[in-house]
Amino acid sequence: DADVTQTPRNRITKTGKRIMLECSQTKGHDRMYWYRQDPGLGLRLIYYSFDVKDINKGEISDGYSVSRQAQAKFSLSLESAIPNQTALYFCATSRGTMNTGELFFGEGSRLTVL
Amino acid sequence: GEDVEQSLFLSVREGDSSVINCTYTDSSSTYLYWYKQEPGAGLQLLTYIFSNMDMKQDQRLTVLLNKKDKHLSLRIADTQTGDSAIYFCAESTRDDKIIFGKGTRLHILP
């Protein structure tokens, strides 16, 4: 079983709909992240959380919100989806840079907004 | 703000060495990373280097770090078809985020 699990893996939705992407992890890491990948733009950080009570905006947080329901769960919401939010979304976890800071990624959630 | 730059494409003949270059902006980065993304998959850490090191070698991989120029490179010796992937350079920032470059797509020529 995957250590970092994202659901759904694929989703097609319409403009204006509310969408939630969920991430759960069994690695016991405190730190969790949401990234977005677009061709030619690489990975951009949306939000990150260093523990259950900590939420931080990343490079491109506008139009997104997050919830850290537990150490193991971090969900990303699009309140009113728009076509330029069509992308591949990755959740990742980390022990932090007190260790090597290595990120462990889920397999991605492909979102298409029509 | 923090930024990581790398070229988008590299083509290399099978058996030759591949060199992927990266520049970064945060001089306080503790770690610098190379991640590999194979088609249809998430990213996996390939190797990393601590900021007080100049070089790290791990089998076919050699990482060189020039802190003065904020330049990082990844050399893959004897490039194989299985090395075909997107390679991302990344840095840890002073506030403990991990920032990625746009990724270099490595294409292997027969």
**Tens digit of each residue's pLDDT (9 = 90 or more) over B78-91:** 999 999 999 999 99
Phi, psi of A83 (to 5 degrees): -55, -30
pLDDT category, B30, cuts 50, 70, 90?
A: confident
d(CA B70, CA B74): 14
Interval A1-21 mean pLDDT: 94
Q: Is the dihedral of CA B67, B99, A26, A95 positive or negative?
A: positive
DSSP A44-63: EEEEEEEETTEEEE-TT-TT
- Across A38-42, A78-82, A99-103, B35-39, least confident range: A99-103
pLDDT (mean) for A100-109: 91
Residues of B in contact with A96 (CB under 8 A): 96
Written as six digits, the tokens of A48 are 């990150």
Beta strand residue intervals within chain B, DSSP E: 4-6, 9-13, 18-24, 31-37, 43-50, 55-58, 61-66, 71-76, 85-92, 98-100, 104-109
For residues A12-24, average pLDDT: 97
- Whether A105 and B101 lie within 8 Å, measured CB to CB: no
| Secondary structure letter of residue B91 according to DSSP | E
Percent of chain A with pLDDT over 70: 96
The Cα B35–Cα B74 span in angstroms is 10
Out of A42, A58, A101, closest to residue B103 by CB: A42
Per the model's pLDDT, the better-predicted residue between B56 and B1 turns out to be B56
Reported as a single tens digit per residue, the pLDDT across A23-77 is: 999 999 999 999 999 988 889 999 999 999 999 999 999 999 999 999 999 999 9
Q: Which of A4, A41, A98, A105 to mutate to test the interface with B (most CBs of B within 10 A)?
A: A105
Mark out chain B residues that contact chain A at CB-CB < 8 A.
8, 30-31, 33, 35, 41-45, 48, 88, 92, 96-103
Q: Report the residue of chain A nearest B9, measured CA to CA.
A: A40
